[in-house]
Structure 1
Amino acid sequence: MQNVLNALRALEEVAARQPIGVAELARAMELPKSTAQRTLGTLHAAGWIRQTGSTPTRWALTTKALLVGRRATGELGLRDVAVPVMEELRRRTDETVHLAVPEGDRVILIERLETSRPVRIVLPLGQILPSHASANGKAVLAARPAGAVDQYIAAGLTGFTGDTITEPVLFREELAEIRRRGYATNGGEWRTDVSAVAAAVLGADGLPVASISVNVPTSRMTAQMSESLGAQVAAAAREVGAALEPLHSFRHR
């Protein structure tokens, strides 16, 4: 019980004093430095706090606290739900994680959490991603009704690299495979240096409201890595979709 109380008190202190170091926290809580350090480790492992990147190490809240607070008041949107899940996905993979939303026949990048690795994928927020040549886009398109897919393909599949799928029959086979395994892949189909895996976030009506992706430089992506990341991103997308359902129900009471 004391450990739980220490963690809750530490969370309040971090919120009030962030960014805060372990020595400052220990003084504020009147605890041994070793106890404060263990408490911070627990909060970090649970996703409540993050390192700010400064030296010596200092700590600040993650958006998980915002998520819980907004759930209490009913004020919650897609970003609020998705970002804590994305942060956990980034923590596990240490790769760049993107959140994109559909807009017409394309998808738009609205959130990015970057890897700590020196070689990384950097796309600006607001970047338009082609639906047939990006993992995010293919994940969304595969979850759309058949009529929407037919309309998209009929407009033509533009080639961006030598690996872009531009043949309608092959692209339909690609979408069927995405539906079967639960996630989409992109192996340099939009930009040769960008590879990714992505899964659609489904709304209460079963239609895609967003997609989450893990993005890796093509030089670093392997088939085994793609499969592992695919399973993780699919689980993350399901988690976000499940969290959105009660919010949708609450707003329509």
Structure 2
Amino acid sequence: MAVKPLQSLARALEVLDVIAEHEPVGVAELARITGVDKSALQRILVTLHAGGWLRPTTEPSTRWKLTTRPLVLAAQARRRDDLLTRARPVLADLREATGETVILAVPDAGRIVAVDVAESRQLVRTVPRIGLVFPAATSAAGLAMCAATPPDEWDLSGIDPHDEVFRRELTGTRDRGWSLSLGAVDAGVASVGAAVLDATGRPIAALIVSAPSGRLDEAGCTRVGKLVARAATGLGDRAGPLR
């Protein structure tokens, strides 16, 4: 017999995702976003609170926030991740070479998620958070990974393979060897990226350099793009498929 997923657990995980995105958030707003009735939500919230995942705010109208437990769990997973261990000095070197913020992003359940950041030392800089989800069709990370993958193997959400702008950006990414995104994630931010390939040639991650768009003109994007592509190739040469 096929094993069916636990619907109650699936709802609880969905609630955690929504709280992470909208915290602090009350029961009424959670019900509106998730479509789960308030009595069921109350049971989920109390259970997650008892398990140490959530804490209520001290406001008169109780709202909910994540505790540090997800961060602890993520840190433990990151310490065991070989790709992250190898990538960390690459991110640091790329930050020093460009002077800008460098991000490592990986595909996860149809999304592209930032898993490590080497923040620029400049006073004015981009400050992406770990856990940031990049739009697959318009971000430098998404374009880099899609350009390195046959269209029939795209498994990222939010992609319209017939969109002319998307197809044009993919062509430009393949021609240059690196992707470019202007304002897709944040207005006024320019990002340059390249895919990290495993031993089979499939993208397992993307390296992205992110900066205020005023500091990345056409010549700057070209210089940084070549550096990102070289760093991604070097990291990919040592990378195996994620386990």
Give the TM-score taking structure 2 as reference length: 0.62
Q: What amino acid maps onto 1:108 in structure 2?
A: V
Q: What amino acid maps onto 2:217 in structure 1?
A: T
Q: 1: distance between equivalents of 2:163 and 2:81?
A: 39
Q: Per the alignment, do residues 156 and 199 of structure 1 end up closer, same or farther by CA in structure 2, a change over 3 Å counting?
A: closer
Identity %: 34
Q: 1: distance between equivalents of 2:81 and 2:156?
A: 32
Q: Are 1:108 and 2:103 an aligned pair?
A: no
Q: Are 1:219 and 2:208 an aligned pair?
A: no
Counterpart of 1:140 in structure 2 is 145
Query: Per the alignment, in what secondary structure is the counterpart of residue 117 of structure 1?
Result: coil
Query: Per the alignment, in what secondary structure is the counterpart of residue 88 of structure 1?
Result: helix
Preserved contact between residue 106 and residue 137 of structure 1 (Cα < 8 Å): no
Counterpart of 2:225 in structure 1 is 230
Q: Deviations over 1:37-83 (max 9, x none)?
A: xxxxxxxxxxxxxxxxxxxxxxxxxxxxxxxxxxxxxx870011111
Counterpart of 1:61 in structure 2 is none
Deviation at 1:105, TM superposition (A): 3.1
Preserved contact between residue 138 and residue 166 of structure 2 (Cα < 8 Å): no
Preserved contact between residue 111 and residue 156 of structure 2 (Cα < 8 Å): no
Q: Are 1:121 and 2:98 an aligned pair?
A: no
| Alignment length (residue pairs) | 163
Query: Per the alignment, in what secondary structure is the counterpart of residue 215 of structure 2?
Result: coil
Deviation at 1:142, TM superposition (A): 1.2
1:184 corresponds, among 153, 169, 179, to 179
Q: RMSD in angstroms over aligned alpha carbons? A: 2.3
Q: What amino acid maps onto 2:98 in structure 1?
A: T
Q: 2: distance between equivalents of 1:76 and 1:168?
A: 35
Q: Deviations over 1:198-249 (max 9, x none)?
A: 000001111100000110012222010000000000000000001125xx6x
Q: Are 1:98 and 2:126 an aligned pair?
A: no
Query: Per the alignment, in what secondary structure is the counterpart of residue 173 of structure 1?
Result: helix
Q: 1: distance between equivalents of 2:150 and 2:109?
A: 13
Preserved contact between residue 86 and residue 97 of structure 1 (Cα < 8 Å): yes
User: Within 5 Å, which residues of 2 pair with 1:144-223?
Assistant: 144-149=149-154, 168-223=163-218
Q: What amino acid maps onto 1:209 in structure 2?
A: I
Q: Which runs of no fewer than 5 residues in structure 1 stay unpaired? A: 1-74, 158-165
Q: 2: distance between equivalents of 1:239 and 1:207?
A: 15
Q: Per the alignment, do residues 173 and 115 of structure 1 end up closer, same or farther by CA in structure 2, a change over 3 Å counting?
A: same
Counterpart of 2:23 in structure 1 is none
Deviation at 1:167, TM superposition (A): 7.1
Q: Which runs of 4+ in 1 moved over 3 A?
A: none
Preserved contact between residue 105 and residue 112 of structure 2 (Cα < 8 Å): yes
Preserved contact between residue 100 and residue 108 of structure 1 (Cα < 8 Å): yes
Preserved contact between residue 183 and residue 231 of structure 1 (Cα < 8 Å): yes
Counterpart of 1:84 in structure 2 is 89
Q: What amino acid maps onto 2:165 in structure 1?
A: L
Give the TM-score taking structure 1 as reference length: 0.59
Q: 2: distance between equivalents of 1:122 and 1:107?
A: 17
Deviation at 1:152, TM superposition (A): 5.7
Q: Which runs of no fewer than 5 residues in structure 2 stay unpaired? A: 1-79
